[in-house]
Amino acid sequence: MIEPNRQGEVWVFAEQEDGSLHDVALELCGKARELADRLGVQAGAVLPGSGVGSLANKLIGHGADKVYVVDDQRLGHYQTGSYAQVLRELIEKHRPQIVIYGATPMGRDLAPRVASSLRAGLTADCTDLEISDVTDPKTKTDHLNLLLQIRPAFGGNIIATIVNFDRWPQMATVREGVMPLREADASRTGQVIEEKVEIDPAVMAVKLIERHIEPRKINLKGARVIVAGGGGIGSKDNFELVYDLAGAIGGAVGASRAAVDGGLIGKEHQVGQTGTTVRPALYIAVGISGAIQHRAGMEESAKIVAINTDREAPIFSVAHYGIVGDFKQVIPMMIKAIKEK
Amino acid sequence: MPYDSVVCVKQVPDTANVTADAMREDGTVNRGALPAIFNPEDLHALETALKLRDNHGGTVTAVTMGPPKASEILRECLYRGADRAILLTDPRAAASDTLATSYILSQAVKTVGQFDFAFCGRQAIDGDTAQVGPQCAEKLGIPQVTYLEDVVQVSGKTARIRRNVGHGWEVVEVQLPVLATVLETANQPRPPAARRVMRLKKAQTRAELTGIVRAEMPEASNEDREAEVQRRADALKERNLLIEQWNLDDIGADLSRCGLSGSPTKVHRIQSIVLRKEGHTELPATEEGARQLIRELVVDRTLG
């Protein structure tokens, strides 16, 4: 456990795999920049890996003032033990006030191990981070500029705001895709700092035997427009209409869990709490009732259109435009209108 | 060779089926209004341990931390084949965040004794944090393998485990003991065995007996009630039906690391999800409605 360090930097764990940065690392650099500006401190990124130094500039372009590079052959493949040791040692040395990680399979494996070894707090799967003054209701003490860690909880039925009063660093994992991925600013400059960590052979307890990574075929997160179908689509044949609309409008095809579980479409299309979180410019929900778990993954979309036969469907509560009707009639009319525009 | 496993399980409110009556007016959740269930992924963790024992021998011990009611899922573990079940219950453990919870659980696992595998579900559906497993592993000072889908091979003090890394999988080799968190895609949990249900349905924890005796003897003195609890506990013990129960002292826990004082994170605010969108426009399901929609999306530059 480390005492609060109000001059501490705002850090991002720069997740990379096989020498390429995960989008979430860049999203978080943008957020760290914003938080650091609010606090009047610097934003840093921690980049462990092997031969990864060339990635530092990209992190700087997305908002980091400093990149702490830990380049070591033994860090070539992600391992909980070695990466946790690197993070822990650097945090103890530099005492950042905030450390954020992507809530990816890697980030959710690493961050709790680091938090436990520091006896620090950790909030999982945040969808927003803010800086605010908070009064401890117990001691009536005012705490200035705390990190508000905002996350859905209880199956997405509530939004909880978590704070750490006096046991820092303040750490959180942040869901992919919820912080906007901004354009890199090539004119930004920053400092690249080489750090050495003597990796304890005892922490390298897990040996990689075999690995099979599938390239991501569907880029839902990067899509400007998403047309998504739900259980109400009913059949694979009917899903063709969803594809047709996506084709006409220039969008990607998404789906609700009901559609995926019903075998109408593959899981890689799933939007929602257990699928991908998206925030496109336009989200068209067709035959999706809008269970809370689905809404949690798409309600940040800039414009939402819902088409559903059920006037009471919860999806309408988050939609900017609603059409109560049968998609089998509405979609062809929309395609026609798009062609006329 | 035989392998001993400890499985950490949790009783959770069924958050997948939250209805309006489970929400209080102030936006907080009334946990009491929700059915309490066996955390889904923990059932798969239990199944992983049971399969390992089926194939190699050894023991399976289930541990849960929670209120007396959590004894219910320990019976579920026993019905499915667990050799031993332990309830860790203590009011001083209330309000623990994931760090304090993992400390308490790791102390309980240490108290169980020697083990080769510790299994947890990847995450519990009330918090969805997936933090307690890895934090427990760190506190036990052993490696962790998250997102287990299969124990591919065990030989001697080494295991090969296939884990799902989101966009693919990997097989890793690890020295035992190890803590693994298990996904629901790992297996199909076995149902309770009828014979075991018959034999074990009367198995109870002391905390449950205390609740029952309090309800049955409201007028009795504390001493009389305590004596009655002891009598019933002894009777169950004789028939091997007393489920073990520990408190924080039994596991040698440092109280400053438990409950609220051991929790660095504090809940500052809770809001229920508000279902409303300002400026909602309903359009008719007609050609004119479709045209108007597209027109508006073009005008506000949503569509190029």
CA distance A228 to A245: 10
In-domain check, residue A219: no
Q: State the architecture of B5-203+241-262 in CATH terms.
A: 3-Layer(aba) Sandwich (3.40)
A67 contacts A193 by C-beta, under 8 angstroms = yes
The pLDDT, as a whole number, for residue A251 is 86
- Residue A105: which CATH number? 3.40.50.620
Residue A65 pLDDT exceeds 90: yes
In-domain check, residue A4: no
Q: How many CB atoms lie within 10 A of CB B124?
A: 25
B19 pLDDT band, cuts 50/70/90, is low
Question: In this predicted model, what pLDDT tens digit does every residue of B89-121 receive, in sequence order?
Answer: 999 999 999 999 999 999 999 999 999 999 999
Q: Three-state SS for B121?
A: strand
Among residues A173, A203, A233, the one where a domain terminates is A203
A138 pLDDT band, cuts 50/70/90, is confident
CA distance A266 to B287: 31
The pLDDT, as a whole number, for residue B274 is 47
Same domain, A22 and A86: yes
Give me the domain span that covers residue A320: 225-340
Same domain, A177 and A36: yes
The mean pLDDT of A252-268, rounded to a whole number, is: 91
Q: Which sequence spans correspond to the domains of chain B?
A: 5-203+241-262
Same domain, A278 and A198: no
Same domain, A103 and A22: yes
Same domain, A170 and A251: no
Lowest-confidence range among A55-69, A99-113, A205-219? A205-219
Per the structure, the count of domains in chain A is: 2
Same domain, A14 and A160: yes
CA distance A168 to A6: 10
Closest alpha carbon to A112 in A86, A80, A155: A80
Same domain, A45 and A106: yes
Interface of B with A in 18-47 (CB under 8 A): 18, 22-23, 27-29
CA distance B62 to B78: 8
Interface of B with A in 192-221 (CB under 8 A): none
Question: In this predicted model, what pLDDT tens digit does every residue of A263-318 receive, in sequence order?
Answer: 899 888 999 877 888 988 899 999 999 988 899 899 888 899 999 999 889 999 89
The mean pLDDT of A183-206, rounded to a whole number, is: 94
Same domain, A237 and A310: yes
Interface of A with B in 230-289 (CB under 8 A): 249, 273, 281-282
In-domain check, residue A327: yes
- Residue A272: which CATH number? 3.40.50.1220
Same domain, A236 and A103: no
Residue B276 pLDDT exceeds 50: no
CA distance A39 to A60: 19
In which residue are the tokens 């052993």 written?
A: B142
Question: CA distances (Å), B262 to each of A113, A121, A148, B92, B124, in order?
Answer: 17, 10, 20, 10, 20
Please tell me which of the candidates B99, B142, B277 has its beta carbon nearest to residue A119: B99
In-domain check, residue A215: no
What does B179-210 look like in DSSP terms, one character per residue? EEEE-TTS--PPPPPHHHHHHHTT-EEHHHHH
The pLDDT, as a whole number, for residue A150 is 93
Those residues with Cβ within 8 angstroms of residue A189's Cβ, 6 or more apart along the chain or in another chain: A60
Q: A305 touching B, CB under 8 A? A: yes
Please tell me which of the candidates B142, B145, B160 has its beta carbon nearest to residue A209: B160
CA distance B119 to B180: 5
Which backbone phi and psi does B10 adopt, to 5 degrees?
-140, 140
pTM of the model: 0.83
